[in-house]
Amino acid sequence: MAAASNRPLSPHLQIWRWGPAMFVSILHRVTGDGMAFVGLGVLLYWLGSLAGGPESYAAFLAHAGTWYGKVVLIGLTFAFFSHMLSGLRHFVLDIGAGYELKTNAFWSVVAPVVAVVLTVAVWTLVLVR
């Protein structure tokens, strides 16, 4: 079987110009993976500490209350909101709306900004109480 030498090459990242839609698409994948791996680890640790009794739950709360525990929990909160808003954006695209360049770019910028605002709002409520 002879290979055709005149076949077109697939475009690669060097050809495409970076834009907000590309950034949000990559962020959507990263936040989904982050919630799957990190979120699953935190969930299993939390459930295990609940099943282990008061001492193990106190150890979980001690880790969750440290600076690194708060960074992980805030990161998971941002990942949740970012993934949710990006998923809603993709849902709108799937029904055939929002493909105009300006509209697509606008919602690609709005999704992570609103995710940051929602994350700050949630953690302001959590830390103020």
Q: Which residue has the tokens 């077109």?
A: 8
Whole-number pLDDT of residue 15: 72
pTM of the model: 0.85
Task: Name all domains of the chain by residue range, CATH numbers in brackets.
Answer: 20-128 (1.20.1300.10)
List per-residue pLDDT tens for the chain, 129 residues long: 566 667 667 776 667 778 899 999 999 999 999 999 999 999 999 999 999 999 999 999 999 999 999 999 999 999 999 999 999 999 999 998 988 989 999 999 999 999 999 999 999 999 998
Whole-number pLDDT of residue 16: 72
User: Can you tell me the distance from the alpha carbon of 74 to that of 10, in angstroms, rounded to the nearest whole number?
Assistant: 39
Contact 35, 79 (CB under 8 A): yes
User: Can you tell me the distance from the alpha carbon of 122 to that of 81, in angstroms, rounded to the nearest whole number?
Assistant: 10
CA-nearest of 52, 74, 53, 79 to 64 is 74
User: Can you tell me the distance from the alpha carbon of 61 to that of 54, in angstroms, rounded to the nearest whole number?
Assistant: 10
Contact 24, 112 (CB under 8 A): yes
The 8-class DSSP code of residue 14 comes to T
User: Can you tell me the distance from the alpha carbon of 80 to that of 74, in angstroms, rounded to the nearest whole number?
Assistant: 10
* 34 Cβ contact list (under 8 Å, min separation 6): 75, 76, 79
